[in-house]
Amino acid sequence: MRASKMAVAGGAIAAAVCAVAFVAGPGASAAPLPGGLGPCVGDACPDKYPPVNNGPFAGRDNGINVFAGGDFLVREGAAEAEGRVVVLGSFDLAKRAGASSVYNVGIAGVGSRVPPPDGADFLTAGKDVTVAPNQRLLADGGVVRYGGTVAGTVTGTLKQDPNAADQYKQLRPQLREASTCYGNSAATGTAKNQGYRTLFTGDGKSALQVFTVDFDLTGPGGGMQGLEFAGIPAGATILVNLVGGSRVINTYSGDLADREPINHLREKLLWNFPDASKVKIAGQAQFQGSVLVGNPASDTTVTASGTAGRFFTAGNLLHTSDGAAGGQEFHAYPFTGDLPDCTTPATSTTPTSATSTSSTTTEPTSTTSSSSATSSTSSTTSSSATESSSSTAPTSSSSASSTSPTKSSSSSEAPAPITTTSDNSGGVAPGTGPSDQGPLASTGTDLRGYLIGGTALLLIGGALVAAVAVRRKRS
């Protein structure tokens, strides 16, 4: 009897080890986006991000929310980009006549209300910042750092720095490589365009749910449709690879109040365009999830009422509106999913702590400048597997749009300019670079340890089985 029990125990151990090896697979591991992009950065991150709102600040996030490897253009009636914005090329604001004349960066009147820390770089442009006559770029409470010149009216603290974007240049090839790698991932589920919706059906068990889409996510005639997910385990990362040279998403899925099921997937949902040269994201919705466009020669157009997630493109970005509608907004929400480990660890590109804890604010004053000299202006601070998510009606966010940040207090004195410590080696001002901030948050999960432990258990189990066999033979 004892020998029989030992045999059973040894067999169970061996079986468990085999199961671990099967699940983990050779070299199986998970990682965040390259360069530390995605998670909230700093010691003031909220435990939970609120729905889109215009209430008090819920926390602070020093991570990059919008990245463009080319130029960033604002046209028509687009309203704001919440969070830190980094552009390797130029930032150009020229909205249509009759639309709101302002565009916010950093602090949004309506959004997650998790802006960058006071004094952080709200906008970084490797080249020029250009604002059309009679329009204003609002960066109250933060820094606009640029490598070329500024033309037009910009609020906030202006910092001319020829090395402004140097520390972010490696992100462009890193995002390209990662996007291509993610695009090669084997699908674990199916995606079917049924006209009124596209239904993504997962396998119900994988920690990484992968979908490959070779069609536009649009309704008949290119109109809006719903985006629904089923069979997604609780906590799973969702990777949607939209392959092809040109792709369009036009949806009404995603709302302001986080009532729709897709909203609850956003922090682990990534829409990846590995090879598209033309991308458009449209619709009367709060588009949920983060976006990665890997082609450096691409042009991405965003006309959706709002986005809720990180937005990273290696190419050019156009924030605009369709027709007379206005108020389009990028809202700052993190990406915390675990993706395929495609690249070697890279130097982080975002600081991990707030650059200032002061709550003192001043009334904003506009500055018109076309020189490259450093200048400043007054500033203000501003669960179980899913069954099926569904969307039944378009939800527009234009009514919740805001064109100016919320102020918390005011004083009569303008703040002193932030001292720049950059040099020819590409250094940056304190609080804006990674060198003195420590490691970034990591969401990756490495499974190789399980394989090592599993191998040891396999040897032990095998030894037990062999011992039992010898004992039974002798008896």
Q: Is residue 39 part of a domain?
A: yes
AA letter at 464:
L
Residues 223 and 263 in one domain: yes
DSSP lists the bridge partners of residue 377 as none
Residues 248 and 117 in one domain: yes
Query: 393 burial class (0-12, 13-18, 19+ CB within 10 angstroms)?
Result: exposed
Q: Is residue 434 part of a domain?
A: no
| Domain boundary pick from 400, 429, 464 | 400
Q: Is residue 148 part of a domain?
A: yes
Q: Is residue 421 part of a domain?
A: no
Residues 128 and 14 in one domain: no
What pLDDT is recorded for position 30? 75
Closest among 49, 62, 71 to 142, alpha carbons compared = 62
| Domain boundary pick from 400, 434, 465 | 400
In whole angstroms, what is the distance from residue 40 CA to residue 36 CA? 10
> What is the total count of domains within the chain?
2
What pLDDT is recorded for position 29? 60
Give me the DSSP letters along 97-136.
TTS-SEEEEES-SSB-S--PPTTSEEEEESS-EEE-TT-E
Cα 303 to the center of its chain, rounded Å: 18
Q: Tokens for 145?
A: 């750092």
Q: Is residue 407 part of a domain?
A: no
Give Cα separations from 235 to 8, 71, 258, 389 (angstroms): 34, 35, 17, 15
Residues 285 and 146 in one domain: yes
Rounded to two decimals, what is the model's pTM? 0.73
Residues 118 and 175 in one domain: yes
Q: Is residue 440 part of a domain?
A: no
Residues 81 and 22 in one domain: no
What pLDDT is recorded for position 325? 82
Residues 11 and 36 in one domain: no
In whole angstroms, what is the distance from residue 36 CA to residue 339 CA? 12
What is the crossing angle of helices 448-474 and 2-24, to 10°? 160
Q: Tokens for 267?
A: 């922090």
Residues 17 and 71 in one domain: no
Per-residue pLDDT of the chain in tens (475 residues, 90 and over written 9): 444 444 444 444 444 433 333 333 333 467 899 999 999 999 999 999 999 999 999 999 999 999 999 999 999 999 999 999 999 999 999 999 999 999 999 999 999 999 999 999 999 999 999 999 999 999 999 999 999 999 999 999 999 999 999 999 999 999 999 999 999 999 999 999 999 999 999 999 999 999 999 999 999 999 999 999 999 999 999 999 999 999 999 999 999 999 999 999 999 999 999 999 999 999 999 999 999 999 999 999 999 999 999 999 999 999 999 987 899 999 999 999 999 998 555 444 444 433 333 333 333 434 444 333 334 443 333 334 444 444 444 444 443 444 444 443 333 333 333 333 333 333 333 333 333 333 333 344 444 444 344 444 445 555 554 554 545 444 4
Q: Would you say how long the chain is, in residues?
A: 475
In whole angstroms, what is the distance from residue 243 CA to residue 276 CA? 7
Give Cα separations from 440 to 48, 282, 311 (angstroms): 19, 32, 19
Residues 258 and 288 in one domain: yes
Give me the DSSP letters along 319-355.
E--STT----EEE-------EE--S------S-SS-S
Domain span including residue 23 = 2-28+447-474
Q: Which residue is associated with the tokens 């939209």?
A: 242
Per-residue exposure over 443-460, b if at least 16 CB sit within 10 Å of its own CB, e if not: beeebeeebeebeebbee
Q: Is residue 408 part of a domain?
A: no
Query: 56 burial class (0-12, 13-18, 19+ CB within 10 angstroms)?
Result: exposed
What pLDDT is recorded for position 438? 32
Query: 370 burial class (0-12, 13-18, 19+ CB within 10 angstroms)?
Result: exposed
Closest among 310, 278, 296 to 67, alpha carbons compared = 310
Residues 158 and 298 in one domain: yes
Residue 426 CB contacts under 8 Å (≥ 6 apart), including other chains: 163, 166, 167
In whole angstroms, what is the distance from residue 281 CA to residue 179 CA? 18
Phi, psi for 353 (deg, rounded to 5):
-135, 160
Q: Is residue 410 part of a domain?
A: no
Residues 6 and 128 in one domain: no
What pLDDT is recorded for position 162? 98
Residues 172 and 245 in one domain: yes
In whole angstroms, what is the distance from residue 95 CA to residue 60 CA? 29
